[in-house]
Amino acid sequence: MRSIRSSAVLAVLAATLLTACQTTGAPAPSAEQTHRPPPTEIPASPLSDAPGRVVAQNKGWVVRVHPATETGSAYCYATRTDDSSPLSFRATAKGAAMLVNADQHAQAGKDTESRLTAIFPDGETMALEASPLPDGGVVVPVELPKYEDLFEPFMRSRAVTLQRDGGGTDIGDVNLGGSSWALAALDECRILHTDK
């Protein structure tokens, strides 16, 4: 009699396990899972991701052109040949930018703005509208009609001290030797190689 009961119990257990193994489909999502917002994606840069080609090099600077791709527009980029400077310049067909401690694809933020003060050796100061970047860098966008006016002091000076927020954190002293040549070559690169 005991063996019959044991067999019956084992049969019930086996049937239960078999049913559990045959159940398919994922469990229903919890309320927290169904209402969780999708992860925010970092917007892609509107600039080309194609490798740069050197179009000019002189006076310690190099200018590269990055041709247009299916997903990004062409641009020119000027930086020190030895990467010793925190300062670089970028130009597209529609605008330009001065980058400080920033990646060449850095974009100006729409929500955050700060002031960047440039102090030149002759005592001249210039307040620039800048956008701070998440990595600590700064980007100063420039409209093309104002390109030469804005960059002229950077072209004629041999050095500049950069401060954030009009006297806040020092970004530091930057050697501008050769910058006149670099900015002229950058503008030529923009005219010849970027999309119209």
Find where tokens 């009699």 sit.
1
Q: Which of 175, 123, 128 is nearest to 149 (CA)?
A: 128
pLDDT at 19 over 60: no
Residue 43 has pLDDT above 80, yes or no: no
Query: Over 90: is that where the pLDDT of 144 sits?
Result: no
The predicted structure's pLDDT at residue 150? 87
Q: Which of 26-35, 63-72, 130-139, 153-162 comes out lowest in average pLDDT?
A: 26-35
Give the CA-trace dihedral at 189, 190, 193, 194, to 10 degrees: 160
Distance, C-alpha 170 to centroid of its chain: 22
pLDDT at residue 196 in the model: 60
For the entire predicted model, the pTM comes to: 0.75
Beta strands in the chain (DSSP E): 53-58, 61-66, 75-80, 87-91, 95-100, 114-119, 125-132, 138-143, 159-164, 170-175
